[in-house]
Amino acid sequence: MTGLLGGFIPQFYAKINRQSLGKSFGFLFVFVCIISVLLAVRFSIVVFGMLPNLQSWAEDNLAQLSKEVPAMEMRNGEIIAPRQAFLKVWEKERAAFAIEPDPARVQSVLDAHENIVLITQKQVLVKARRAAGTSEIRSYDVSGTKLFKLESIAQGVKISLEAKVIELTPRLVKRWIRIISMFILPGMMLVFLCWFSVAKPVQLLFFSLVSLLANAVLKAQRSYPELLNIGIYALVPPTTLAVLLALVGLDRIPFFGLVFIVLYSTYLVLGIKAASAAPSSAA
């Protein structure tokens, strides 16, 4: 806790600049664990809030969807059924789903819709409209799909693959949600822990160039291990600010990367000055 608070106080750097690097990296690992837990909890809450909506959607729409989507069969990427083209449009979402067995008509179907998933011979095309007004089309090769069969059942659809049959119903969705819920928080923690365990040391090494430059300009005569010690604790203020903004949903502030760089560099310089001004016996 002392290191977390001390990272905001320039005079604190005079106390830690000569401690062992092992102790400083130990503090960095603890700091990374703390922010990983905080962010994991924050984003897990968001995901948990979305799961009931997914369950509600499955209960409200799967049965209806099974009536609207035709039976479909694909072997080795070739559409066996339906023989005729199919199109389903959701006007409110400005999205569409289509099956087009005739390759000659694929382009006209794509041109007619801003957002669409289109199944055609040996490929699935996904068109999405971007914020800038442009559209992106991605193609996925399904020629290696030996069997894909879609059939309607009472409360949903049955999907038959080469070696597996899945009955997609609200009951199955509820079961998946229950299983996924057990792994959301630990999974998020692991993701953030892995990310910060790599990102923070990389930032430390990259900004050691700033430390070396400040050390030369200020004629501080700090050794490289001392500069690394200062750099580790100087990560606390900008990282804490970034985490706090993420926790309150303000993590998309324009040019925040520049704010991070300026704040980190400022604490590096202040820390080096404080360490140089301290008596030589400081440890």
pLDDT in tens, 182-223: 999 999 999 999 999 999 999 999 999 999 999 999 888 889
Residue 54 domain flag: no
83 by DSSP, 3-state: which? coil
Can you state the angle between helices 224-234 and 256-277, rounded to 10 degrees? 130
Q: Is 101 left (phi over 0), alpha (psi -120 to 50) or beta?
A: alpha
Q: Are 164 and 189 in the same domain? A: no
Give how far the C-alpha of residue 281 lies from the chain's centroid of Cα atoms, to the nearest Å.
Answer: 46
Q: Are 207 and 245 in the same domain? A: yes
Q: Are 153 and 72 in the same domain? A: yes
Task: Give the span between the Cα atoms of 232 and 230, in whole angstroms.
Answer: 6
Low-confidence ranges of the chain (pLDDT < 50): 281-283
What is the DSSP secondary-structure string of 177-188? HHHHHHHHHHHH
Residue 164 domain flag: yes
pTM higher than 0.85, yes or no? no
Residue 243 domain flag: yes
Residue 177 domain flag: no
Task: Give the span between the Cα atoms of 200 and 27, in whole angstroms.
Answer: 12
User: What was the pLDDT predicted at 283?
Assistant: 38
Q: Are 163 and 201 in the same domain? A: no
Burial 28-55 (b: 16+ CB within 10 A, else e): beebbeebbebbbebbbeeeeeebeeeb
Report whether the peptide linkage leading into residue 10 is cis, meaning its omega lies within 30 degrees of zero: no
Q: Are 213 and 164 in the same domain? A: no
Residue 55 domain flag: no
Domain finish residue from 101, 134, 169: 169
User: What was the pLDDT predicted at 279?
Assistant: 66
Residue 176 domain flag: no
Q: Are 155 and 249 in the same domain? A: no
Residue 31 domain flag: yes
- Cβ atoms of residues 127 and 137 within 8 Å: yes
User: What was the pLDDT predicted at 282?
Assistant: 39
Going from the C-alpha of 36 to that of each of 29, 187, 196, the distances in angstroms are 10, 11, 8
Domain finish residue from 135, 169, 203: 169
Q: Are 89 and 133 in the same domain? A: yes
Q: Are 21 and 91 in the same domain? A: no
- Distant-in-sequence, close-in-space partners of 137: CB < 8 Å, separation ≥ 6: 110, 125, 126, 127
Burial of 7 (0-12, 13-18, 19+ CB in 10 A): buried
Q: Are 100 and 127 in the same domain? A: yes
Q: Are 77 and 146 in the same domain? A: yes
Per-residue H/E/C for 189-215: HHHHHHHHHHHHHHHHHHHHHHHHHHH
Domain finish residue from 169, 193, 209: 169
Residue 217 domain boundaries: 2-44+185-277
Q: Are 217 and 254 in the same domain? A: yes
Give how far the C-alpha of residue 186 lies from the chain's centroid of Cα atoms, to the nearest Å.
Answer: 15
Residue 223 domain flag: yes
Count of structural domains within the chain: 2
Q: Are 40 and 6 in the same domain? A: yes
| Nearest C-alpha neighbor of 243 from the set 260, 230, 258, 267 | 260
Tokens of 182: 């057990």
What digits encode the pLDDT tens for the residues 64-82?
777 778 889 999 999 999 9
User: What was the pLDDT predicted at 140?
Assistant: 93
